[in-house]
């Protein structure tokens, strides 16, 4: 029987176990310019016992920044900063992928330079508010991307993927979930276009497929993962028929031979099982677990074949040595919600390991 603690080959990349550190925005790139800090180097190195680390969402372009103090992968300084992170993780024996992200309509002009405003597939504001340095602000109506700008945005994902390899990452994950730009193109309530990038499910899929293909061509499909959250309403998304939408999407990306598919926050396990039939590669699951963190109760998802790898969020945030704690059955540190986003090293670097 396969367990979460068994090694696995991820498209030629050997992983020590099947426990993934899920991408988690922490808003700690506080030194300016979206450059990773010393604290971020230490944070990721502490968690190198994961079979695979997937970084926090990392913007592919200036206009893609959705929150304050998030890192990027579109400038030389950012690449150099991430190189320090990847070197530290590799020295500690870990593997790490960069999550490539564009916030789309989730953002605010106060986060952007030179009078920029957030962009999206259509000029439809998300129903909600966004965090800024000045507190919560209502989401604004984004500027609709032109056809030429859509192609430029696709190229931006590919360029960021190449930058990720230059920075020493083992691969990249495309953030196509949780209501950000790729997801906004998939959903009919945020994508109301009538051109080649919107309308029916196939045309709404076109941007996600184009980004995935461009990234795979830039760095190799074996270094490319894709994260999706079918039917997740986060950030104002409404998908009335996620099965049809994502069946078509998975059928389109399946021939690319991606390193993995990462699915998160899908409480309907029957839908998940049906969708998985359309992707034959490595399947990473970040299960919907409600108010409790993903933990011991979810390890059976590896054993029963529901997933090939299992992603943990809050538990990895609070337990830098999570694989060891899971193997021992605990105990586990309690995540401090007050320090999840932004701040100093409290609630970031000071969670103790068992040896401490």
CA gap 135, 339 in Å, rounded: 16
Which of the residues 43, 44, 67, 180 is marked catalytic?
180
The confidence band for 115, taking pLDDT boundaries of 50, 70 and 90, is confident
In whole angstroms, give the CA distance from residue 12 to residue 7: 12
| Known catalytic membership, residue 348 | no
* Mean pLDDT, residues 28-35 taken together: 97
pLDDT of residue 11 exceeding 70: yes
Work out the pLDDT band at 28, boundaries 50, 70, 90: very high
Mean predicted confidence (pLDDT) in 331-349: 97
Q: What angle do CA 27, 31, 32 make, to 5 degrees?
A: 90
Tell me the backbone φ, ψ of residue 292, rounded to 5 degrees: -90, 145
- List of residues 6+ apart from 64 with CB closer than 8 A: 101, 102, 103, 104, 107, 156, 181
- pLDDT mean across residues, the chain: 96
* 135 three-state secondary structure: strand
Whether the per-residue pLDDT at 241 is higher than 90: the answer is yes
Is residue 289 pLDDT above 80, yes or no? no
Task: For helices 76-91 and 38-46, give the axis angle rounded to 10 degrees.
Answer: 30
Q: What are phi and psi of 26, to 5 degrees?
A: -125, -10
Does residue 328 sit in helix, strand or coil?
A: helix
| Residue 89 CB partners (closer than 8 Å, separation 6+) | 44, 45, 48, 53, 95, 96
Indicate the pTM of the whole model: 0.97
The rounded distance, in Å, linking the Cα atoms of 223 and 258 is 7
Residues 6+ apart with CB under 8 A from 55: 23, 44, 71, 85, 96, 97, 98, 99
Q: What is the pLDDT of residue 356?
A: 58
The candidate with the shortest Cα–Cα distance to 306, out of 329, 278, 280, 272, is: 272
Joined tokens for residue 51:
């079979």
Please tell me the CATH superfamily of domain 8-328, with its number: Aldolase class I (3.20.20.70)
């Amino acid at each position: 029987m396969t367990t979460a603690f068994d090694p696995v080959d991820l498209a030629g990349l050997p992983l020590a176990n099947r426990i993934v550190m899920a991408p988690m925005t922490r808003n700690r790139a506080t030194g300016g310019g979206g450059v990773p800090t010393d604290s971020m180097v230490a944070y990721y190195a502490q968690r190198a016992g994961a079979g695979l680390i997937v970084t926090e969402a990392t913007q592919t372009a200036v206009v893609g920044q959705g929150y304050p103090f998030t890192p990027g992968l579109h400038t030389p300084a950012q690449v150099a900063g991430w190189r320090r992170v990847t070197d530290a993780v590799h020295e500690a024996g870990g593997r790490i992928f960069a999550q490539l992200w564009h916030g789309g309509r989730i953002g605010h002009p106060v986060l952007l330079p030179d009078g920029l405003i957030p962009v999206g597939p259509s000029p439809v504001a998300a129903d909600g508010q966004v965090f800024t340095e000045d507190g919560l602000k209502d989401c604004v109506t984004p500027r609709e991307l032109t056809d030429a700008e859509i192609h430029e945005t696709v190229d931006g994902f590919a360029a960021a993927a190449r930058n990720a390899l230059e920075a020493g990452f083992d691969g990249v994950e495309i953030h196509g979930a949780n209501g950000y730009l790729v997801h906004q193109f998939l959903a009919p309530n945020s994508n109301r276009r009538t051109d080649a990038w919107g309308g029916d499910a196939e045309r709404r899929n076109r941007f996600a497929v184009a980004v995935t293909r461009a990234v795979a061509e830039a760095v190799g499909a074996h270094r490319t993962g894709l994260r999706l959250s079918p039917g997740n309403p986060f950030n104002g998304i409404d998908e009335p028929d996620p099965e049809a939408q994502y069946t078509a999407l998975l059928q389109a990306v399946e021939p690319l031979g991606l390193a993995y598919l990462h699915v998160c926050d899908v409480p309907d396990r029957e839908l998940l099982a049906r969708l998985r039939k359309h992707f034959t590669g490595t399947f990473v699951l970040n299960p919907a677990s409600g108010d409790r963190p993903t933990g011991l109760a979810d390890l059976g998802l590896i054993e029963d074949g529901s997933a090939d790898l299992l992603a943990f969020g809050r538990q990895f945030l609070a337990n830098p040595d999570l694989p060891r704690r899971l193997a021992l059955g605990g105990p586990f540190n309690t995540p401090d919600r007050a320090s999840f986003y932004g701040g100093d090293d409290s609630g970031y670097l000071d969670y103790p390991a068992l040896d401490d």
